[in-house]
Homo-oligomer: A and B are copies of this chain.
């Protein structure tokens, strides 16, 4: 393993993966050797200097010029990247042997990484990557949404075969009381369950059942609260990555 920590930022388009990769890397560089990997074939500009950048091989915009629509071009770009899979894996593993941290910025559309062979196979071949699943606070409107985010993190873990920690990103945009509310829902399971009980819909009942039973079986992993702007939560993420590395992936 060479003592290197691999951190992979995953999230929907607009959840702030790229900004966070840049800001967290800058923070780490104060004490460590950091490498950056960009796996997004559709990104226009990066706030960091990538050591590996898949856009050197293919971009979504190039493929669109061949006549593809945007959705087709995104999928096609990763189909083509599969031809270079061994090359990119080797390059990443080489960085891993030379740096303290390798930060991986994933495709703009989260589903490209979760559902395409490129993402799944890459994760299978990296040593103990830690996945940080970023959510925009905007998506948290109802009690069932907190349940959704927790379970989504479990599903990413299941799909990619890698420990996944849920993180609320862009917390600098939240008022103090909003952040407190989000923390309460994520960290006080009894509180969440109490709220879900008042939701008379089938989905409220389903969320109640899912949370009550699952949390018994699978102790919930911490939730991180991050900001690329204020560096909030960066120490927590650094600590968590270190613990993950020391325990070979078992954070529970």
Cβ contacts A154-183/B at 8 Å (1 or 0 each): 110111010100000000000000000000
Is A186 located at the chain interface by the 8 A CB criterion?
no
The dominant DSSP class at the A interface is: helix
Is A60 located at the chain interface by the 8 A CB criterion?
yes
Kindly identify which residue among B73, B163, B250 contacts A70, using a CB–CB cutoff of 8 Å. Answer: B73
Cβ contacts A93-134/B at 8 Å (1 or 0 each): 000000000000000111110010100000000000000000
Give the CA-CA distance A110 to B75 in the complex, in Å: 13
Is A58 located at the chain interface by the 8 A CB criterion?
no
Interface residues on A, range: 35 or more
Nearest-Cβ distance from residue A60 to partner chain B, whole angstroms: 5
| Copies of this chain in the oligomer | 2
A115 touches B42 (CB 8 A): no
Kindly identify which residue among B14, B72, B144, B203 contacts A13, using a CB–CB cutoff of 8 Å. Answer: B72
Interface residues of A (CB under 8 A from B): 12-14, 40, 42-44, 60-61, 64, 68-75, 108-112, 115, 117, 136, 138-139, 144-145, 147-148, 151-152, 154-155, 157-159, 161, 163, 201-203, 206-207, 209-210, 213-214, 216-218, 249-250
Question: Knowing that A13-B72, A61-B69 are A-B contacts, what are 15 other residue pairs whose CB atoms are under 8 Å apart, sorted by A's residue number?
Answer: A14-B72, A14-B75, A42-B70, A43-B71, A69-B108, A72-B108, A110-B111, A115-B136, A147-B158, A148-B159, A151-B158, A155-B155, A158-B207, A161-B203, A213-B214
